[in-house]
């Protein structure tokens, strides 16, 4: 339980800083089986999202809890953001460490046009 509370504390600190900047942010959440990504503007309105639970994406991946599926979500969220004309975002990793699936998603999003 202590590990989860530390992650939530890191998450709150990051979000507080990003709200002061009034930045559009790419929010990432991961569970043991799935990964979720949303682009949220400074008024907390969700502009676009992608997750491994969507039917289109679920049919294209074998297992949703690995780096390959996270990278696929990164490409999808970057493509959807480009359709809205969003090029620059702040990366909100929700207190998760920047490695593994979080890193794979971020690098795929950067590779496909998002700047953060």
3-state helix, strand, coil in the chain (%, to 5): 45, 20, 35
Do 2 and 68 form a contact (C-beta atoms < 8 A)? no
Query: How much is the pLDDT for 18?
Result: 85
pTM of the model as a whole: 0.88
- Give tens-digit pLDDT for 67-87: 999 999 999 999 999 999 999
Q: Looking at the domain 2-111, which fold is it?
A: Nucleotidyltransferase; domain 5 (3.30.420)
pLDDT band per the 50, 70, 90 thresholds, residue 57: very high
**49 forms bridges with which residues in the sheet?**
38
Query: How much is the pLDDT for 74?
Result: 97
Query: How much is the pLDDT for 23?
Result: 85
Q: Which of 70, 6, 1, 80 is nearest to 34 (CA)?
A: 70
- Give tens-digit pLDDT for 16-54: 888 888 889 999 999 999 999 999 998 889 999 999 999
Residues whose CB falls within 8 Å of the CB of residue 80, separated by 6 or more in sequence, listed in order = 39, 48, 49, 50
Dihedral sign, Cα of residue 97, residue 100, residue 105, residue 111:
positive
Query: How much is the pLDDT for 24?
Result: 93
Do 37 and 73 form a contact (C-beta atoms < 8 A)? yes
Query: How much is the pLDDT for 14?
Result: 87
For residue 22, give the DSSP letter: T
Query: How much is the pLDDT for 86?
Result: 93
């Amino acid at each position: 339980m202590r590990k989860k509370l530390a992650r939530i504390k890191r998450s709150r600190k990051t979000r507080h800083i990003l709200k002061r900047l009034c930045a559009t942010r790419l929010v990432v959440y991961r569970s043991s089986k799935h990964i979720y990504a949303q682009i949220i503007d400074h008024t907390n309105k969700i502009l676009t999202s992608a997750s491994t639970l969507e039917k289109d994406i679920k049919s294209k991946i074998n297992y949703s809890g690995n780096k390959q599926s996270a990278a696929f979500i990164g490409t999808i969220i970057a493509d959807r953001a480009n359709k809205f004309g969003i090029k620059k975002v702040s990366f909100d990793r929700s207190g998760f460490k920047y490695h593994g699936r979080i890193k794979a998603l971020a690098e795929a999003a950067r590779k496909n046009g998002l700047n953060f």
